[in-house]
Structure 1
Amino acid sequence: MTAVRGTVIASILVAAGGLFIDTAHGHQAMPTDAQPSGWAYPPSCCGGDDCQAVPDKAIGEVLRGYIIHATGEVIGYADTRIKVSPDGVTHWCASARTKRTICLFIPPKGF
Protein backbone atom coordinates (compact mmCIF):
# COMPACT_ATOMS: atom_id res chain seq x y z
CA MET A 1 0.00 0.00 0.00
CA THR A 2 2.82 2.44 0.88
CA ALA A 3 4.60 1.74 -2.43
CA VAL A 4 1.40 2.41 -4.36
CA ARG A 5 0.80 5.63 -2.44
CA GLY A 6 4.39 6.72 -3.14
CA THR A 7 3.96 6.03 -6.84
CA VAL A 8 0.70 7.98 -6.95
CA ILE A 9 2.25 10.95 -5.13
CA ALA A 10 5.29 10.91 -7.45
CA SER A 11 2.99 10.84 -10.49
CA ILE A 12 0.99 13.79 -9.19
CA LEU A 13 4.16 15.80 -8.53
CA VAL A 14 5.51 15.09 -12.00
CA ALA A 15 2.19 16.08 -13.58
CA ALA A 16 1.96 19.23 -11.48
CA GLY A 17 5.50 20.22 -12.45
CA GLY A 18 4.43 20.17 -16.09
CA LEU A 19 1.79 22.80 -15.34
CA PHE A 20 4.38 25.36 -14.29
CA ILE A 21 7.33 24.80 -16.62
CA ASP A 22 7.14 24.57 -20.38
CA THR A 23 9.78 21.91 -21.02
CA ALA A 24 10.44 19.60 -23.92
CA HIS A 25 10.90 15.88 -23.47
CA GLY A 26 14.37 14.38 -23.63
CA HIS A 27 16.97 16.70 -25.05
CA GLN A 28 14.59 18.53 -27.36
CA ALA A 29 13.75 22.25 -27.31
CA MET A 30 10.20 23.24 -28.16
CA PRO A 31 9.51 24.37 -31.74
CA THR A 32 9.78 28.09 -32.51
CA ASP A 33 9.38 30.17 -35.66
CA ALA A 34 13.15 30.01 -36.21
CA GLN A 35 13.30 26.25 -35.52
CA PRO A 36 9.87 24.79 -36.43
CA SER A 37 10.99 21.24 -35.58
CA GLY A 38 12.70 22.26 -32.36
CA TRP A 39 16.36 21.45 -31.81
CA ALA A 40 18.35 19.07 -29.67
CA TYR A 41 20.02 20.25 -26.49
CA PRO A 42 23.54 18.83 -26.27
CA PRO A 43 23.62 15.83 -23.91
CA SER A 44 26.34 17.60 -21.91
CA CYS A 45 23.79 20.31 -21.04
CA CYS A 46 20.68 18.31 -20.35
CA GLY A 47 19.87 15.19 -18.38
CA GLY A 48 16.40 14.88 -19.87
CA ASP A 49 14.57 17.73 -18.17
CA ASP A 50 17.27 20.15 -17.04
CA CYS A 51 16.79 22.59 -19.95
CA GLN A 52 13.95 24.96 -20.69
CA ALA A 53 13.20 28.13 -22.59
CA VAL A 54 13.01 31.07 -20.20
CA PRO A 55 11.60 34.58 -20.61
CA ASP A 56 14.17 37.22 -21.54
CA LYS A 57 13.59 38.90 -18.17
CA ALA A 58 14.76 35.72 -16.34
CA ILE A 59 18.35 36.39 -17.44
CA GLY A 60 20.00 39.77 -17.14
CA GLU A 61 23.35 41.27 -18.02
CA VAL A 62 25.77 42.80 -15.57
CA LEU A 63 29.30 44.06 -16.07
CA ARG A 64 30.83 40.62 -15.47
CA GLY A 65 28.38 38.51 -17.50
CA TYR A 66 24.86 37.10 -17.43
CA ILE A 67 22.91 36.91 -14.17
CA ILE A 68 20.31 34.24 -13.49
CA HIS A 69 17.69 36.23 -11.59
CA ALA A 70 16.13 33.14 -9.95
CA THR A 71 19.40 32.20 -8.24
CA GLY A 72 21.64 35.28 -8.37
CA GLU A 73 24.31 33.23 -10.14
CA VAL A 74 26.55 35.22 -12.50
CA ILE A 75 27.97 33.43 -15.54
CA GLY A 76 30.98 35.28 -16.94
CA TYR A 77 30.95 36.22 -20.61
CA ALA A 78 33.93 33.92 -21.33
CA ASP A 79 32.40 30.94 -19.48
CA THR A 80 32.17 27.84 -21.69
CA ARG A 81 28.65 27.14 -20.36
CA ILE A 82 27.39 30.01 -22.51
CA LYS A 83 26.18 28.79 -25.90
CA VAL A 84 24.59 30.47 -28.90
CA SER A 85 20.85 29.85 -29.04
CA PRO A 86 19.92 28.46 -32.45
CA ASP A 87 16.30 29.63 -32.24
CA GLY A 88 16.63 33.17 -30.91
CA VAL A 89 15.17 32.18 -27.53
CA THR A 90 17.01 32.13 -24.21
CA HIS A 91 17.33 28.63 -22.74
CA TRP A 92 18.62 27.78 -19.26
CA CYS A 93 19.88 24.33 -18.33
CA ALA A 94 20.31 23.87 -14.59
CA SER A 95 20.68 21.03 -12.15
CA ALA A 96 17.26 20.12 -10.78
CA ARG A 97 18.82 19.56 -7.36
CA THR A 98 21.16 22.55 -6.97
CA LYS A 99 19.77 24.96 -9.59
CA ARG A 100 23.39 25.57 -10.64
CA THR A 101 23.69 26.46 -14.33
CA ILE A 102 24.90 23.70 -16.65
CA CYS A 103 24.44 25.63 -19.92
CA LEU A 104 22.97 28.97 -20.90
CA PHE A 105 21.82 29.48 -24.49
CA ILE A 106 21.77 33.17 -25.42
CA PRO A 107 20.38 34.49 -28.73
CA PRO A 108 22.89 36.29 -30.92
CA LYS A 109 22.62 40.09 -30.74
CA GLY A 110 20.05 41.30 -33.24
CA PHE A 111 18.41 37.88 -33.76
Structure 2
Amino acid sequence: MLIIATVAGTLQSGAHQTASGWTYPPACCQGDAVDGDCQSIPGSAVLERGGGWTVVLDPGDHRKVTHRNRYFVPYGSEIPSRDGQFHICLHPTEEHENCFFVPPDAM
Protein backbone atom coordinates (compact mmCIF):
# COMPACT_ATOMS: atom_id res chain seq x y z
CA MET A 1 0.00 0.00 0.00
CA LEU A 2 2.76 2.43 0.94
CA ILE A 3 4.55 1.88 -2.38
CA ILE A 4 1.36 2.51 -4.38
CA ALA A 5 0.63 5.69 -2.41
CA THR A 6 4.20 6.91 -2.88
CA VAL A 7 4.18 6.28 -6.64
CA ALA A 8 0.75 7.90 -7.04
CA GLY A 9 1.87 10.93 -5.03
CA THR A 10 5.04 11.27 -7.06
CA LEU A 11 3.18 11.11 -10.37
CA GLN A 12 0.54 13.57 -9.23
CA SER A 13 2.98 16.06 -7.73
CA GLY A 14 5.54 15.89 -10.55
CA ALA A 15 3.30 16.37 -13.56
CA HIS A 16 3.02 19.93 -14.81
CA GLN A 17 4.57 21.51 -11.70
CA THR A 18 7.04 24.34 -11.33
CA ALA A 19 10.17 23.98 -9.22
CA SER A 20 8.44 26.05 -6.52
CA GLY A 21 5.43 23.72 -6.49
CA TRP A 22 2.52 25.43 -8.26
CA THR A 23 0.92 23.61 -11.16
CA TYR A 24 0.96 24.71 -14.79
CA PRO A 25 -2.45 24.52 -16.48
CA PRO A 26 -2.74 21.18 -18.33
CA ALA A 27 -3.42 23.01 -21.63
CA CYS A 28 0.00 24.67 -21.33
CA CYS A 29 2.34 21.84 -20.43
CA GLN A 30 2.96 18.50 -22.07
CA GLY A 31 5.20 16.28 -19.96
CA ASP A 32 6.56 16.77 -16.47
CA ALA A 33 9.16 18.72 -14.50
CA VAL A 34 12.00 16.74 -16.09
CA ASP A 35 11.10 16.85 -19.78
CA GLY A 36 8.01 19.05 -20.01
CA ASP A 37 7.43 22.07 -22.21
CA CYS A 38 7.15 24.56 -19.35
CA GLN A 39 9.98 26.06 -17.34
CA SER A 40 11.00 29.26 -15.59
CA ILE A 41 13.21 31.54 -17.67
CA PRO A 42 15.60 34.37 -16.78
CA GLY A 43 13.94 37.75 -16.28
CA SER A 44 16.74 39.22 -18.38
CA ALA A 45 15.29 37.34 -21.39
CA VAL A 46 12.03 39.34 -21.19
CA LEU A 47 11.46 42.90 -22.42
CA GLU A 48 8.28 44.97 -22.57
CA ARG A 49 7.85 46.75 -25.88
CA GLY A 50 5.45 47.42 -28.68
CA GLY A 51 2.26 46.38 -26.93
CA GLY A 52 3.53 43.21 -25.37
CA TRP A 53 6.38 41.05 -24.18
CA THR A 54 9.42 40.17 -26.28
CA VAL A 55 11.16 37.02 -25.07
CA VAL A 56 14.59 36.06 -26.42
CA LEU A 57 15.81 32.63 -25.33
CA ASP A 58 19.23 31.13 -25.93
CA PRO A 59 20.28 27.53 -25.34
CA GLY A 60 20.43 26.99 -21.60
CA ASP A 61 17.56 29.38 -20.86
CA HIS A 62 14.97 26.59 -21.33
CA ARG A 63 15.43 22.82 -21.68
CA LYS A 64 13.85 22.74 -25.17
CA VAL A 65 15.82 25.63 -26.68
CA THR A 66 18.64 24.51 -29.02
CA HIS A 67 19.19 27.83 -30.84
CA ARG A 68 18.26 31.48 -30.25
CA ASN A 69 14.50 31.98 -30.44
CA ARG A 70 12.45 35.17 -30.24
CA TYR A 71 8.80 35.22 -29.21
CA PHE A 72 6.28 38.04 -29.00
CA VAL A 73 3.37 37.79 -26.55
CA PRO A 74 0.80 40.60 -26.83
CA TYR A 75 -0.50 42.21 -23.65
CA GLY A 76 -3.54 40.35 -22.42
CA SER A 77 -2.21 36.95 -23.51
CA GLU A 78 0.08 36.49 -20.51
CA ILE A 79 -0.88 34.42 -17.47
CA PRO A 80 -0.01 35.50 -13.90
CA SER A 81 2.89 33.55 -12.43
CA ARG A 82 2.49 32.32 -8.88
CA ASP A 83 6.13 32.44 -7.82
CA GLY A 84 7.40 35.86 -8.95
CA GLN A 85 9.29 34.42 -11.94
CA PHE A 86 8.74 34.38 -15.68
CA HIS A 87 7.84 31.00 -17.21
CA ILE A 88 7.25 29.88 -20.77
CA CYS A 89 5.79 26.74 -22.29
CA LEU A 90 7.10 25.76 -25.71
CA HIS A 91 4.88 23.39 -27.66
CA PRO A 92 4.81 21.63 -30.07
CA THR A 93 8.35 22.77 -30.92
CA GLU A 94 10.81 25.25 -29.47
CA GLU A 95 9.68 27.82 -32.05
CA HIS A 96 6.14 27.91 -30.66
CA GLU A 97 5.24 29.73 -27.44
CA ASN A 98 2.20 28.02 -25.98
CA CYS A 99 1.81 29.82 -22.64
CA PHE A 100 3.72 32.71 -21.05
CA PHE A 101 3.62 33.46 -17.32
CA VAL A 102 4.48 36.87 -15.87
CA PRO A 103 4.99 37.83 -12.22
CA PRO A 104 1.96 39.81 -11.01
CA ASP A 105 4.11 42.83 -10.09
CA ALA A 106 5.35 43.02 -13.69
CA MET A 107 1.87 43.03 -15.23
Q: TM-score range by the shorter chain?
A: 0.5 to 0.7
Larger radius of gyration: 1
Scaled by the length of structure 2, what TM-score is found? 0.66
User: Which of 80, 89, 97 is residue 93 of structure 2 equivalent to?
Assistant: 97
Letter in 2 for 1:100: H
Matching of residue 28 in structure 1 with residue 11 in structure 2: no
Question: Which residue number in structure 1 is paired with residue 102 of structure 2?
Answer: 106
The letter for the 1-side match of 2:87 is: H
Would you say the 8 A contact 1:29–1:40 is kept in 2?
A: yes
Q: Which runs of 5+ in 1 are unaligned?
A: 1-24, 32-37
Alignment TM-score, normalising by the size of structure 1:
0.64
Structure 2, unaligned runs of 5 or more: 1-13, 58-68
SS at match of 2:70: coil
The alignment's C-alpha RMSD in Å is: 2.2
Counterpart code for 1:65: G
Show the 5 A alignment for 1:1-111.
25-31=14-20, 38-48=21-31, 49-70=36-57, 71-79=69-77, 82-95=78-91, 97-109=93-105
4+ residue segments displaced more than 6 Å: none
Which amino acid counterpart does residue 86 of structure 1 have in structure 2?
R
